[in-house]
Amino acid sequence: MTATLTPEARPAATALSPVTLVLAAGTFLMGTTEFVIAGLLTSVAADFSVTVAQAGLAITVFALGMIVGAPTMALATLRLPHRVTLSAALAVFAAGHALGALTDSFTVLLGARFVTAVATGAFWAVASVAAVRAAAPHARTRVLGIVLGGGMLANVLGVPLGAFIGQLVGWRGTFWLLAGLAAVLAVTVARQVPASPPAAEAPSVRAEIASLRSGPLWLVLATCAMVTGGALSIYSFISPVLTDLAGISERWVPLVLMGFGIAALAGSILGGRLGDARPFGVPVLTASATLVIALALLVLPARPALVLVLLVLLGLVSLSANPVLVGLANRYGGSASTLATAMPTAIFNLGTAIGTGIAAAALSSGLGARGPVLVGFLGAALVLVPLGILVLRERGLRRAI
C-alpha cells in the first residue's frame, strides 16, 4: 500500500517542483497585470472618456498598492498558513479584475487596481517566504530565481499577449481572462502549497518589526532600491533611447523589449542558480556589469547595432541578482521573519518609482534621451555603495572568526 503525502509531509521543494512552478505561475500572472495596462491605455481612456495621461493613473495607483501591500499584508496575514494567504490573494486579484471589467466608473477602476495591487504585493511577499521555507537548504536561492522569474516571463509573454487580446476583444476581455486564470490558480495553490509548519511560538508582530533593526538588512534593501531604480530608469524609456539617442527605427522597439525580457528571465534563473554558492559575488558582478553597460550606452550611442546588443545585455545582468538579494534579506532579517523577506518586494517597487520619476525629469531636461541612461548609470554606481559596505562587513566578520 502506497502512502499519500499530505501537504505537510511533502519533501522540500526543488527548482522544478510543483510548489515552485505554482508560485512562479502566480508571479507570472501578477507581473502581467502590473504592466499589461500600459498596452491598453488608449482603449481604457476611450472607454472612460478620459485622457491617456489620466488613464496612466491606473499604473501609478498599482505601483502604490504594491509598495503598501507587501509589508502591510505580510504583517496582517502573519498567523495565517501560507497557502491560505496566497489563495486569498489570488481570489482578491480575481475579484478586482472582475470588478474592473464590469464597472463604468473610472474611479471604481482605480480603486479596483489599488486593491488588486495590494493583493499582488501580498502574493509576491508571501510567495518569496513560502518558496524559501519549502525549499531544500541548498536550493533556496535557485528556487527564488524560478519564482521571481515568473515576473520576468510576464514581460516576455504575458504583457504582449494580454495587449494583443485587448486589441482583439477589448481591454475588458483581458481583465476577464486574468480574473479567470487567477480563480483557477487559487484552487491550485490551495492544493499544492504545503501548510506552514506549526511554529514553536505564535508569530509576533513585535518580533517581525524587531527583525527590521538589522543594519545589514537595510544595506540589502538599499541595494534592492538602487538595482531596480537604475536598471528600470533605462528600460522604462527604452523607446526614446533607441529612436532619439541611437537613431534606430521605432519598429525595433518591441523586439528589443522582448529581447530584454528574455534576457532578464535567463538572468534571474542564472543568478538564482549561482547565488546559493556566491551570495555576494553575484550582486557585485552584476552591478559592475550594469555600470559598464550603462557607461557604454552613454559614450557610444552612435553605434545602433552595439546599442541593441547592450540593451539585451542590460536585461541579462541588471536584475539577475534580485533573487539573491531576497535570499540575503531572509538571512539578515532571520529566516523566520516574514516581514524581512517581504520588504524587498516593496523596496523594488519604491526604487522603480523613484528612479523612473527622476529619469522622466531628466528626459524632459536638456539632456534629452541621454538623461534616462545617465540616471541608470548613476543608479548602477550607487548600488556598489551599500553592497560594498556589506561585503567589507562580511570579510571583517570572517577575519574575526
CATH code, domain carrying 29: 1.20.1250.20
In a domain, 98, yes or no: yes
Reading the block at residue 359, the C-alpha cell is 529619469
Q: Which of 200, 235, 253 is the last residue of a domain?
A: 200
Q: Which residues pair with 135 in a beta bridge?
A: 13
Same domain, 214 and 353: yes
Whose cell is 476611450? That residue is 46
- What are the residues whose beta carbons fall under 8 Å from the beta carbon of 42, sequence distance 6 or more? 52, 55
First-residue to last-residue Cα distance in the chain: 52
Please give the C-alpha separations between residue 62 and each of 35, 67, 228, 321, in angstroms, as whole numbers: 9, 9, 17, 24
Q: Round to whole Å and give the CA distance between 294 and 361.
A: 18
Q: What is the DSSP letter of 40?
A: T
Q: Is-above-0.85 flag for pTM?
A: no
Same domain, 108 and 124: yes
In single-letter form, the type of residue at position 73 comes to M
pLDDT reported for residue 227: 94
In a domain, 247, yes or no: yes
Reading the block at residue 343, the C-alpha cell is 520588504
Q: Which of 172, 200, 228 is the last residue of a domain?
A: 200
Same domain, 78 and 145: yes
pLDDT reported for residue 4: 40
Hey, is 13 helix, strand or coil? Answer: strand
pLDDT reported for residue 201: 53
Domain that holds residue 177: 12-200
Q: Round to whole Å and give the CA distance between 27 and 151.
A: 5
Q: Round to whole Å and give the CA distance between 55 and 44.
A: 7
What is the dihedral angle through the alpha carbons of 101, 98, 66, 73, rounded to the nearest 10 degrees? 160
CA quadruple 159, 298, 325, 9: dihedral sign = positive
Same domain, 123 and 214: no
Pure H helices in 135-214: 140-153, 159-169, 171-192, 205-210
Same domain, 213 and 190: no
pLDDT in tens, 161-204: 887 888 889 999 999 999 999 999 999 999 888 766 545 455 66
Same domain, 277 and 386: yes
CB-based contact 262:388 (threshold 8 Å) = no
pLDDT reported for residue 135: 67
Same domain, 177 and 219: no
Same domain, 50 and 115: yes
- What are the residues whose beta carbons fall under 8 Å from the beta carbon of 177, sequence distance 6 or more? 162, 165
Q: Round to whole Å and give the CA distance between 246 and 370.
A: 10
Low-confidence ranges of the chain (pLDDT < 50): 1-11, 198, 200
pLDDT reported for residue 340: 79
CA 274, distance to chain mean position in Å, is: 19
In a domain, 124, yes or no: yes
User: What is the DSSP secondary-structure string of 112-139?
Assistant: HHHHHHHHHHHHHHHHHHHHHHHB-GGG
The structural domain count of the chain equals: 2
In a domain, 37, yes or no: yes
pLDDT reported for residue 28: 93
Q: Which of 179, 200, 221 is the last residue of a domain?
A: 200
